[in-house]
Amino acid sequence: MYKRLSAVLFPIMTILLIGAMYWGYQEHQEKNTVLMKAENQYQRAFGDLTYYVSQLNNQLGNTLAVNSTSMDYHRKGLVNVWRISSEAQNQIAQLPLSYLPFVDANNFLSRVSNFAYKTAVRDLTKQPLSDEEFGTLQSLYKNSSEISNELGQLQKNIMASSLRWMDVELALSVNEADTENPVISGLRGVNEGVGNYSELNWGPAVNSMYNDDNIELLSGVPVTAEQVVDLASQFTGVPKEQIEVTENGKESDYPTFTALVKEDDNDKKLTFSAKGGKLLSFVHMRDVNSAELTIDQAKEKAENYLHEHGFNNMATVSYDEFSNTGTFTFVYNQDDVYIYPDKIMVKVALDDGEIVSFQGNEFAAHHRDRQMNEPVVSLDDAKQALNPNLSTKEQRMAVIKGDLGTEVLCYEFTGTINDNLYRIYINSDTAIEETIEKLSKQDQKVSD
């Protein structure tokens, strides 16, 4: 009996064993294929990074080599610097550096890119490169040369020693801070070198992109946690006993308070500035399972909400619907001029019209009474800058943030072309297009 059973089971077990071995072999081969593909991708990304930084250095040198009055070549050179530095950043994003301090090097490329773009987009015939900007370009040329040399040497070491990026990823994933991996040590050296560069004069246009103007504009008398409890109670109508307050960033220049309101099974969270006690945001965390309200009904709910809480003269400019909620964007209307930096977003639950979210940090940071100059360009001249095929439906004055980070008074035109709806902003001083925005039919409907 046992012989008969063995005669049956032995070939079955043999087949199973061979099958398991083949499956294991296949799995091993597939794993190796995936690892090899990832390794090749990392090697390519680092090679491209090294190439682009070298090209960046060359392009900066070319831009500095021409005559200081060569406006056209300066623009061309700066556009190339912007393009190349952006490509270098893209390659960094493809490398396994999430656990490695490479922030200084990445920020350096980001600032180079933004400096080149902000300088290139302005009218260099009217505002040529200044002595300070030439000095910045000279420093960038020197710094990029050092980075290029270090990356080039590291690439040679990787190729000569057959170093693998997969080993880098493994070392970083287990957080080996003191690892002796030469690739990690080399990249740390590049980053530390960038961090030791002297501070450059990037100009106000670039600095405004990295400096949080909330710190400057959110001013006022500091409030206490007890006062925040009172503010949250007044805003929500909930007794003070149900409100817990915590302070955030106490030692920073921009501290805030978070008020958590315990009500039923759904919490409400409010954020106030520690200076002035201004409401920055409000969220009611609950499910919205159906959409019963129309856009007009939801818009009325949002407008009434703002009015009840002291936000007057607000105009609706856009609408977005998602997961049975409708989000309206409002901007401040000062004497029929739409002030886009003074922005508030209100989300309405479309089942019962409750306000489930309020975002007012930009309004709190920027809102003030503005003294606006009269437009240099007439309305008729501004219209001449539009595409003749644009069918204009609406026009008004507006203040927006321009490419250089400053507020710009514009003529705002809403119209259709190629069956699409657009808002086009024409600078009221230069008659040049500042920006263009594609709208949905819902945007048009709520802003009528």
Do 79 and 116 belong together in one domain?
A: yes
Do 29 and 87 belong together in one domain?
A: yes
More reliable by pLDDT, 157 or 27: 157
Confidence tier at 12 by pLDDT (50, 70, 90) = low
- In sequence order, which residues have a C-beta less than 8 Å from that of residue 438 and are 6 or more positions away? 420, 421, 422
Decide if 213 is inside a domain: no
Please report the pLDDT score of residue 91 as a whole number. 83
Q: Which of 220-224, 297-301, 305-309, 330-334 has the lowest mean pLDDT?
A: 220-224
Task: Report the pLDDT averaged over residues 205-215.
Answer: 56
Output the domain CATH number for residue 405: 3.10.450
Do 398 and 361 belong together in one domain?
A: no
CA–CA dist 390, 386 (Å, integer): 7
DSSP letters along 26-92, please?
HHHHHHHHHHHHHHHHHHHHHHHHHHHHHHHHHHHHHHHHS-TT-HHHHHHHHHHHHHHHHHHHHHH
DSSP letters along 325-384, please?
EEEEEEEEEETTEEEEEEEEEEEEETTT--EEEEE-HHHHHH------PPPSS-HHHHHH
Decide if 320 is inside a domain: yes
CA–CA dist 39, 138 (Å, integer): 36
Decide if 436 is inside a domain: yes
Do 193 and 325 belong together in one domain?
A: no
pTM of the model: 0.62
Task: Report the pLDDT averaged over residues 219-248.
Answer: 87
Mean residue pLDDT of the chain comes to 81
Do 35 and 145 belong together in one domain?
A: yes
Decide if 219 is inside a domain: no
Decide if 180 is inside a domain: yes
Share of the chain above pLDDT 70, in %: 79
Do 230 and 353 belong together in one domain?
A: yes
- CB 301, CB 355: distance < 8 Å: yes
**348-383 residue pLDDT tens:** 999 989 898 999 888 988 888 888 889 999 999 999
Boundary (domain end) residue, out of 317, 342, 366 = 366
**122-180 residue pLDDT tens:** 778 888 888 888 888 898 889 889 888 888 888 887 777 677 766 666 665 555 444 56
Please report the pLDDT score of residue 29 as a whole number. 54
Boundary (domain end) residue, out of 366, 396, 420 = 366
Boundary (domain end) residue, out of 304, 336, 366 = 366
Do 194 and 49 belong together in one domain?
A: yes
Q: Which pairing describes strands 391-401 and 337-349: parallel, antiparallel, or unpaired? A: parallel
- CB 316, CB 328: distance < 8 Å: yes
CA–CA dist 259, 15 (Å, integer): 66
Please report the pLDDT score of residue 216 as a whole number. 44
Decide if 266 is inside a domain: yes
Do 168 and 61 belong together in one domain?
A: yes
Do 232 and 349 belong together in one domain?
A: yes
Please tell me the total count of domains within the chain: 3
Task: Report the pLDDT averaged over residues 205-223.
Answer: 62
More reliable by pLDDT, 163 or 429: 429
Do 407 and 290 belong together in one domain?
A: no
Task: Report the pLDDT averaged over residues 39-47.
Answer: 79
**47-85 residue pLDDT tens:** 888 899 999 999 998 888 887 778 888 888 888 998 898
Range of the domain at 265: 225-366
Please report the pLDDT score of residue 69 as a whole number. 76
Do 399 and 432 belong together in one domain?
A: yes
Decide if 26 is inside a domain: yes
Decide if 240 is inside a domain: yes
Task: Report the pLDDT averaged over residues 422-430.
Answer: 91
How far apart, in Å, are the Cα atoms of 13 and each of 3, 21, 22, 281? 15, 12, 14, 66
CA–CA dist 30, 27 (Å, integer): 5
Q: Which long-range contacts (CB under 8 A, 24 or more apart) does 281-285 make?
A: 281/357, 281/358, 281/359, 281/360, 281/361, 282/235, 282/355, 282/357, 282/358, 283/356, 283/357, 283/358, 284/354, 284/355, 284/356, 284/357
Do 405 and 428 belong together in one domain?
A: yes
